[in-house]
């Protein structure tokens, strides 16, 4: 038996996790955006808008969007970076990448979409001004390796931005748990025809490091001046780390 890791509340062999996560996102890709709107009541758009604002991408910037999925961040970054910039829309899941690529093209955004693993980024060191990952880090098997790779590819003065579900404000925990484990799988069944994938998503949020733990992990990866911003009572948090 090899090294073990978690897949939601299950314990699985590390070599199996990537395939299991891939199955989840292959299943939900076509309904991903409508489910995001339903699950968050549209709040995911505000969370992403805040992240885009803090990225402060300017014309000519090089930006890497990891786990870019359906392309919301890549679209905004590409428009901000302009024709002199360079924005890479990447994902490890081919189904999500295809949906995102098609959406970007439909919106007139010509930017490269690349299938790649965040733990082994195929980019040179000190290349990007900004690296972002939105709602993708918690699905990675070796988060420390992924964070180290993100730091490697940013330029000195650049920043890594991690938007992810986090530890909700304690008085809201019971209500949040009831919503996550009852309402989300029901929505997944009714809208996406897949309750199990949304049950996994709820479990994966609970297994993800809390705000302070993730801050420490980013610091251990060599990022400096790490800060985080809680949104919606800690349902999500944006962590930002820099390289000097």
Collapsing DSSP states into helix, strand and coil, what is residue 240?
A: strand
For the chain, the C-alpha Rg in angstroms (whole number) is 17
DSSP 29-71: GGGHHHHHHHHHTTHHHHHHHHHHHHH---TT-EEEEET-TT-
Query: Is 117 marked as a binding-site residue?
Result: yes
Please tell me the distance from the alpha carbon of residue 240 to that of residue 54, in angstroms, as a whole number: 9
221: Cβ–Cβ under 8 A, 6 or more apart, which residues? 144, 147, 148, 150, 151, 241
The distance in angstroms from the start CA to the end CA of the chain is 41
Known binder of ligand: residue 78? Answer: no
Q: Is 118 annotated as a binding residue?
A: yes
User: Does 91 appear as a known binding residue?
Assistant: yes
> DSSP 3-state assignment of 192?
helix
Measured at the alpha carbon of residue 204, what is the angle toward residues 11 and 1, in degrees to the nearest 5? Answer: 20
Annotated binding site: 70, 91, 117-118
Annotated binding site for S-adenosyl-L-methionine: 70, 91, 117-118
């Amino acid at each position: 038996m090899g090294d073990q890791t978690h897949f939601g509340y299950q314990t699985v062999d590390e070599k199996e996790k990537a395939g299991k996560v891939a199955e989840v996102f292959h299943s939900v890709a076509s309904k991903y955006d409508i489910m995001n709107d339903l699950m968050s009541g549209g709040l995911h758009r505000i969370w992403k808008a805040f992240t885009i604002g803090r990225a402060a991408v300017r014309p000519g910037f090089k930006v890497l969007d990891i786990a870019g999925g359906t392309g919301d961040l890549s679209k905004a970054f590409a428009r901000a970076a302009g024709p002199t910039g360079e924005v890479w829309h990447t994902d490890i899941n081919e189904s999500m990448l295809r949906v995102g690529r098609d959406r970007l093209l439909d919106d007139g955004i010509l930017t490269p979409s690349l299938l790649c693993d965040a733990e082994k980024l195929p980019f040179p060191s000190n290349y990007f001004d900004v690296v972002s990952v939105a709602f993708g880090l918690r699905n990675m098997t070796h988060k420390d390796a992924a964070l180290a790779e993100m730091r490697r590819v940013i330029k000195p003065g650049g920043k890594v931005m991690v938007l992810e579900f986090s530890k909700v404000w304690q008085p809201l925990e019971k209500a949040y748990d009831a919503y996550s484990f009852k309402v989300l799988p029901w929505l997944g069944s009714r809208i996406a025809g897949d309750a199990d994938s949304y049950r996994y998503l709820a479990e994966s949020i609970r297994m993800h490091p809390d705000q302070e733990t993730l801050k420490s992990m980013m610091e251990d990866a060599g990022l400096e001046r790490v800060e985080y911003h809680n949104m919606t009572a800690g349902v999500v948090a944006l962590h930002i780390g820099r390289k000097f």
